[in-house]
Chains A and B, each alone.
Chain A
Amino acid sequence: MRSDPSISRTGFVLLGAGIVLVAALVLLNLERLLPTTGLSGLFGGEALPLTDGLILNYAYWPRLLTALLAGAALGLAGVIFQQVLQNPLAASETLGVSAGAHLALTLGLLLAPALQSVHPELFAVAGAFSAWGLIALIARRHRGDPLTLILTGFVVSFALGAVSSLLMLLNQEYLTSLFIWGAGSLAQDDWSSVGFLVPRLAACILIVALLSRALLLLGFGDDAARGLGVSLKFARPLLLGVAVFLSASVVASVGVIAFISLAAPHLARLAGAERLSSRLIGAPIAGALLVLVIDQVIQLATPGQSALLPTGAVTALIGAPIMIWLLSRLPAIALEGSGRVAFVTSALSARPVKALMVAALVLVAVLGAALLVGRGPEGLTFGFNVGAGAMEWRLPRVIAAAAAGLGIGVAGTLVQRLFANQMASPEILGVGGGVAVGLIVSLLLSSTAGVGLQLLGAIGGALTVMALLMVLGGRRGFQAERLLLIGIAVTALLDGVVLLFLALGDPRSSQVLAWMGGSTYRATMELALAVAFISIASLAAVLPFARWLDILPLGDEAARGLGLPIRAVRFTILIVSAIVTGAAALVIGPMSFVGLLAPHVANLAGLRRGRHQVIAAALIGSALVAFSDWVGRIIFAPTELPAGILAVFIGASTVAIFLFRR
């Protein structure tokens, strides 16, 4: 390594400690893998049994090198993303690049299995660049506003993820193969991954080295670079292309190893690598060490079953605490010039009551259609009692869907106002993720968890995340990037938990998957009425205090000046929105994006007074989820598509269109 004055002593100490840790772990693993000779077999003391040699040479060493290469590639990709985009949150996962690669691999497995199995990189690269292209297209409209870029990446990732889950749901026999790609397994059985990654990483390092001056200038912004007479017209897309290609290559060889490209550059910076030149070296080293340590520990922890715990699922799990910890360091890496993103603007409606009437009419029309129009073996049916008691089965589903949509619309508006941020929503802030983790915990506690226990788990999860947001996010008046970071971290934690649940082959995993998809199929009248009660009660509870919603976004001082008991108000809104998010998520899953979309559509219609917006968002959310549920039931009947996945798709694409049309 080149000596660099800006790398502090701590940096070298950390590097040394990392290397010692890796060496110790490697020795422990070798000891385990050489049961007869022990380590002496390695150094020619005793003859190595044939099988031991094969395992070392075809599985252990390639796996070790693959971990190093994948970690380094992700670390380098992370630095490039963060430097070029001038965005500390930019990474393969947050920009949707990994999700794009994963979806393309899934499609490949289903449509061209032979080609996908031999040349996964074709699919991964195509998918990663398509996703990135889509996000870049939208982000360009916003002149590179860092937060909008991350928000777009998050939304697009989820839309792509929704398509992936739908494909998995429709092809359950392939679930395990698809799951391996998503969870990132480093198990090797030859040198092909190493042979694949080495030339690609080397070529990318060469390009980055040649463009290192441009990369440095990009950090000062386009204007400064132009002032210096350097054209960045080609350097910028080329460098971003390198980062996307590196991410795609890793996904193609080992699957999604979450969080490394986000965390590695920050770890390098924390170790003292302030300058770009030292970060370019430090981040790949940090990424490589991180992946290597995690993977060696996994191999030690699951001897004989090295395929049991996929490395990517574990990095997703431990990535969350790393991100939360990074939060405490955020002042040092704050986003520059990122204000509150208001991506929907419109004139204040002159006739709000009329607009609300229109929303109510739309809802009634959707409910009517959902109740009356069905599809049976004879084709479309119309009426109350077509087929034996069809109405009786439809009613709880329609009520549950409409109530969940209503609740999440209310929660979305509350959260937006609470954090004085238009892009805040239960999904994006990780409240949905918290609900999911809470529900999984309730399933683990009791295999036959009833509605009561499920509600308790879901609401408990929502409250935990809300509290986290208040404590960690509130330190500096709810900076958008802090909130978003918590959201990303909690959502990654959820991914990790779900992946591990699937990895362990738990018989309840199909139940969890079905619920994550957000199908109203299991809605009994009991559940439907419980959710309806909670949703309507929360709307009713909010209305008398709607004035708070107008005052809160003005800031604490203004609110206090107007006589608002700010702490009590915050606390109340937090509790109400957590309860209603938890209840709604039981029906439509944790990630519907309706909580983001519904308040925006209300806003777009000019309904910006708190009272009007919350009613409108409730009506719109309700209509959107009921519509998704109805379409999901009839479009491919008898095959049903879950309402939650359709709502994500409708919701996320609408948000993307809003962002694009701004």
Chain B
Amino acid sequence: MRRAAWLLALLFASPIVPAAAQTAAPRVIAVDWGLAETLAAIGAPPSGLPEMAGYDAWVKTPPMPSETAELGLRVTPSLEFLAAAKPDVIAVTSQFAAIDPILSRIAPTRSLDIYTSELTPFDHAVVAARTLGEMTGRETAAEELIADTDRRIAALEERIAGRATKSVLMVSFMDDRHVRVFTKGSLFDDVMARAGLSNAWTEAGNFWGFAMASIENLARLDDTAMLIVEPIPESVRLKLEDPERRSLLGQLPAFAPGNYRLIPPVWQFGALPSAGRFADLLLNEADFLERTDAL
């Protein structure tokens, strides 16, 4: 025990290393993927990112540069690796409030919420982009990102303006019996609302803007444009392609061949870059969203 006491004494005597010196453009690291994609989009990619492999698989664009260091899990980013990435500020969301006192020992933290109980992620994402622009000295790039996102949504709006469109149901399959439906409070819902599209799911979701549903819960939605986010489980693919339509999924008109669209992965808890990407994907499917007399 004496040895331990000695260790402690030595420790408290050791000087605490001061925070990195201020430079013209402060380095910002984001623990949240949505903030990280915003940083990459305004040309200030973070020097470190948690769960890079996951980011590449689920967020995809904008890609992180090869210099960006892996930081470990999002719930517990490694302090030693985080310190080595030398951030001046760490951008967090309030979901990280529990680890905020820990992170702020490395660098001051700045909380930028996108998903809140107000259920308006798009507005928050705009504020976050602007704030991150100020923090990194890239205000112009941030305004460009905001303008670009608005432009992409406007392009979608213009394309469908004046035409009758179906309400849109955006789902992601958990397995062949359960789906996640995107509701008010999701980034997707905000983008659709801005472009003048309506969400077919009117019931409330959770804080993150989604609800769990069984196929049965989708059965009564008619005249809906069904968008299925990839990847889909193999068992769902088999049901969609089953020529005998031996399931409720197969029987519902919304899942008949030609009546739904598979869309590539978009990060569902993302910020402006994901919003822009989603608007592009909807624009690609604009014909599909139109109400036709054939149905």
Contact with A along B200-219 (1 / 0, CB 8 A): 00010111101111111101
Distance to closest chain A CB from B107 (angstroms): 10
CA distance A542 to B249 in the complex (A): 64
Residue of A nearest to B222 (CB): A51
Q: Which residues of A contact B (CB under 8 A)?
A: 51, 54-55, 58-60, 113-115, 117-118, 169-170, 172-173, 176-177, 180, 185, 187-192, 304-308, 360, 364, 367-368, 371, 374-378, 381, 384-385, 387-393, 395, 448, 503-507, 510-511, 513-514, 519, 521-522, 524, 633, 637-640, 642
Asked whether, in the complex, the Cβ of A58 is within 8 Å of the Cβ of B247, the reply is yes
Chain B contact patch, size range: 35 or more
Asked whether, in the complex, the Cβ of B213 is within 8 Å of the Cβ of A307, the reply is yes
CA distance A380 to B176 in the complex (A): 45
* Chain A residues whose C-beta falls within 8 Å of the C-beta of B98 in the assembled complex: 511, 514, 522
CA distance A633 to B77 in the complex (A): 11
What are 22 A-B residue pairs whose CB atoms fall within 8 Å in the complex? A54-B248, A55-B216, A55-B248, A59-B215, A59-B219, A177-B175, A189-B176, A189-B239, A189-B247, A190-B247, A305-B213, A364-B1, A364-B3, A389-B17, A391-B14, A505-B208, A506-B206, A507-B206, A519-B76, A637-B78, A638-B80, A640-B78
Asked whether, in the complex, the Cβ of A393 is within 8 Å of the Cβ of B69, the reply is no
Distance to closest chain A CB from B104 (angstroms): 11
CA distance A510 to B84 in the complex (A): 26
Asked whether, in the complex, the Cβ of A374 is within 8 Å of the Cβ of B80, the reply is yes
Asked whether, in the complex, the Cβ of B72 is within 8 Å of the Cβ of A59, the reply is no
CA distance A374 to B10 in the complex (A): 18
Asked if B73 is an interface residue, CB under 8 A from chain A, the answer is yes
Asked whether, in the complex, the Cβ of B75 is within 8 Å of the Cβ of A169, the reply is yes
Asked whether, in the complex, the Cβ of A187 is within 8 Å of the Cβ of B216, the reply is yes
Contacts of B175-207 to chain A: CB distance below 8 A: 175-178, 180, 203, 205-207
Residue of A nearest to B73 (CB): A639
Asked if B294 is an interface residue, CB under 8 A from chain A, the answer is no
CA distance A384 to B10 in the complex (A): 9
Asked if B74 is an interface residue, CB under 8 A from chain A, the answer is yes
* Chain B residues whose C-beta falls within 8 Å of the C-beta of A117 in the assembled complex: 175-176, 233-236
Q: Which residues of B contact A (CB under 8 A)?
A: 1, 3-4, 7, 10-11, 14, 16-17, 54, 57-58, 69-81, 83-84, 95, 97-99, 101-102, 105-106, 115, 174-178, 180, 203, 205-208, 210-217, 219-220, 222, 233-236, 238-239, 246-252
CA distance A26 to B234 in the complex (A): 33
Interface SS of B by simple majority:
mixed
* Chain A residues whose C-beta falls within 8 Å of the C-beta of B105 in the assembled complex: 389, 392-393
* Candidates A118, A185, A505; contact of B178 at CB < 8 Å: A185
* Chain A residues whose C-beta falls within 8 Å of the C-beta of B174 in the assembled complex: 176-177, 180
CA distance A385 to B106 in the complex (A): 14
Asked whether, in the complex, the Cβ of B175 is within 8 Å of the Cβ of A180, the reply is yes
* Chain A residues whose C-beta falls within 8 Å of the C-beta of B176 in the assembled complex: 117, 189
Residue of B nearest to A191 (CB): B246
Distance to closest chain B CB from A575 (angstroms): 28
CA distance A637 to B50 in the complex (A): 12
The 3 A-B residue pairs with the shortest CB-CB distance, nearest first, are A638-B78, A638-B72, A58-B248
Asked whether, in the complex, the Cβ of B78 is within 8 Å of the Cβ of A306, the reply is no
Asked whether, in the complex, the Cβ of B72 is within 8 Å of the Cβ of A640, the reply is yes
Asked whether, in the complex, the Cβ of B178 is within 8 Å of the Cβ of A307, the reply is yes
Asked whether, in the complex, the Cβ of B7 is within 8 Å of the Cβ of A58, the reply is no
CA distance A367 to B3 in the complex (A): 10
* Chain A residues whose C-beta falls within 8 Å of the C-beta of B210 in the assembled complex: 505
CA distance A173 to B250 in the complex (A): 27
Residue of A nearest to B71 (CB): A638
Distance to closest chain B CB from A229 (angstroms): 51
Residue of A nearest to B115 (CB): A507
